[in-house]
Chains A and B, each alone.
Chain A
Amino acid sequence: MTNDIFAPPLKTISHSSMMMAMHFLKGRRPEKLGKVAWVTSGAPVELLRTLDFYTFYPENHGAVCGSSHQSVSISIEAENLGYSRDLCSYARTDIGSILSGKTPLRTIPPPDLLVACTNICQTVLHWYRVLAHRFNVPLVLIDTPFIYDEAADHAVAYVQKQIEEAVKVIETVAGQSLDMKRFREVTSLSRKASQLWMQILDLCQQRPAPISAVDQFIAMAPIVSLRGEAKTVDIYGKMLEEVEERVVQGIGALRNERKRLLWDNLPIWYALRYLADFLGTRGIVLAASTYTSAWGKLANMFNPDNPFESAARTYMHPILNRSTGDKMKTMMKMVNDFHLDGVILHSDRSCKPYSIGQMDQRDRFINEHGIPALLLEADHNDSRSFSEEQTSNRLEAFCEMLGV
């Protein structure tokens, strides 16, 4: 049935998934990896990449556990030891996995170094302290002041100083010194890959949208986890070509696109297929998402000529480290640029920084801009906070409101 609804999957998305699989496979043999760093999704990974670390992203691993429907049983391992269900389900999945050894990857490589950046949430601060205690390895913490309006110069200097001071710790663990020329190259690779990623997403402004946000959720793994590598630039270069080709041929992610929506917040990993089918059968495409674009929007801030200052600036600016008013503006711009008919705001029980303000944002969409908006309560990784029946009911009523 789905073939009547969806265009065939992109070859390059399969290749990107394969690339991730190879990366995880490599992680099964820690003795061959060199030094391993566990990092948060918004950490300045370019330094680690320059010093040849094998990087492991607990959030990315969490998403793998969620997509393979294993995150709840793994989270319970952490909850049984007293970690509250009110904690982020990525954190519980990660901690539960470490405590129990359960993982769909069979094994995960233990860290020699931990790098956490508070630009996505304050949970990582405490989560990574747990990891540091558990593994008894150094923890580099980058504190990024929240940006209400513009990033103040002193705030950028403060973050830059922290990144510069982290070099000594990272070099010690790596057993080698930072090569500035290489650091610039890696920064340039991050810039290129992020630019390509943004170009891919921007092609969804076309009607029909060549790929959906659901495709993007799968395709985004390398830009999150393998940023700064040449192969990442390569895969997104090819992906851009394939998506451009679709645009030329007028092929949409859906064979019959009727309405276009914005998705806000993390995906519901364990219900991705359900959501794609539910919306797809009604001709609704998620043409854009604030989440996937977060890894592209800052592309031009990477500056290989000034890698420390640009890392500070780039990693201060993720959507989660900026004001809710700024997020509203970003979303409205997306609604206009991508010609969207409505918005789904996933109120993610686990991700408080992403979800705060959504009730007001929903009101503003509806009452100030006349854009239909739905608040969908769920959790990105904990299916116990998700009811398919109730979600379907809300979505169905919303679709009827949109006239489909």
Chain B
Amino acid sequence: MTVEIQAIGIDIGSTSTKLVGTNSAGEMIWQILEKTEPRIEEQVRRLLDQAWEMNDRLKDIPVIATGYGRKLAHQATRAITEITCHARGVYQELKHGGTLVDIGGQDSKVIRISPQGKVFDFVMNDKCAAGTGRFLENTANRLNVSLDDMGAIGMETSVEATISSTCTVFAESEIISLLANGVILPEILRGLHRSLIKRIVAMVHSVGFEAPLMLSGGVVQNPLIASMLGDELDTEVVLPRHPQLMGALGAALMALETS
């Protein structure tokens, strides 16, 4: 299979780093996903070495990097933003436009993709942690719940605590009060998700929602996010097969176009 790899995309996110290799038809035929390490340059070198060890020929194929650490992938021929790469990857997978939501660890993005697969408009929230994955992560730590379990626990109930604070830090204080008042964990977690989703929905409206709603990124592993987003926007949520790899796939596809 390795001989078929014609292009590689690297997506260096704040939480995880992804590598995708595509064949000449743009199909994803190779992938790596691991946690982003503090020494990004070394990690990228190691991962690419891994690819190159499979086949020497791979040293000559084009590589494009994306994600917040993209400029540290010196082996890449070009760095392209996540906005463009996610849109490209998702369009390749789903073959239609719509509104793509990507809730990352460090920022959140809503991208409106045209029927032809081009970025029509986008908004980013990177000023305030309250609209990003960090909002959940921060609270997960505080409540001693694993990030992976948060959604599932929140789904155990249909009752929601109201988290009204607009700030991650103050939301934490609010949660402490709720716990002190005997509110159970699933209700708090459900309320917490609602608070995050309401912010994302505001972003969706600001680009002008165009169905279908699509989700990418690691947050898709949390079932409550997709379900709440669908409820809030009264729409079905469409997921690509490998939501976490969409940025890397988009990068690989663009690398393929340059080859």
Contact = CB atoms under 8 A, between A and B. Distances in A.
B81 A390 contact: no
B39 interface: no
B119 A377 contact: no
A359 B206 contact: yes
Nearest to A390: B126
Given A366-B120, A366-B121, A396 B126 contact: no
Contacts of B103: none
Interface residues of B, number: 17
B206 A400 contact: no
Given A366-B120, A390-B126, A393-B126, A401 B208 contact: no
Contacts of A400: 80-81, 83-84, 119
A397 B83 contact: yes
A397 B120 contact: no
B81 A397 contact: yes
A172 B122 CA distance: 57
A359 B208 CA distance: 12
A361 to B, nearest CB: 13
Contact of A397 (B118, B119, B208): B119
Contacts of A394: 124
Nearest to A377: B127
A396 B118 CA distance: 15
Contacts of A401: 83-84, 118-119, 122
A397 B122 contact: yes
Interface string B219-246: 0000000000000000000000000000
A383 to B, nearest CB: 15
Is chain A's interface secondary structure helix, strand, loop, or mixed overall?
helix
A185 interface: no
Interface string A346-375: 000000000000010001001100001001
Nearest to A365: B121
A390 to B, nearest CB: 5
Nearest to B80: A400
A140 B234 CA distance: 57
A372 B122 CA distance: 10
Interface in B55-107: 68, 80-84
Interface string B112-142: 0000001111111011000000000000000
Contacts of B124: 390, 393-394, 397
Nearest to A400: B84
21 contacts: A359-B206, A363-B206, A366-B120, A367-B208, A372-B121, A375-B123, A377-B127, A387-B127, A390-B124, A390-B126, A393-B68, A393-B124, A393-B126, A397-B81, A397-B83, A397-B122, A400-B80, A400-B83, A400-B84, A401-B84, A401-B122
**Complex A-B, nearest 7 residue pairs according to Cβ-Cβ distance, in ascending order:** A397-B83, A397-B81, A400-B84, A401-B119, A390-B126, A396-B81, A366-B121
Interface of B: 68, 80-84, 118-124, 126-127, 206, 208
Interface of A: 359, 363, 366-367, 372, 375, 377, 387, 390, 393-394, 396-397, 400-401
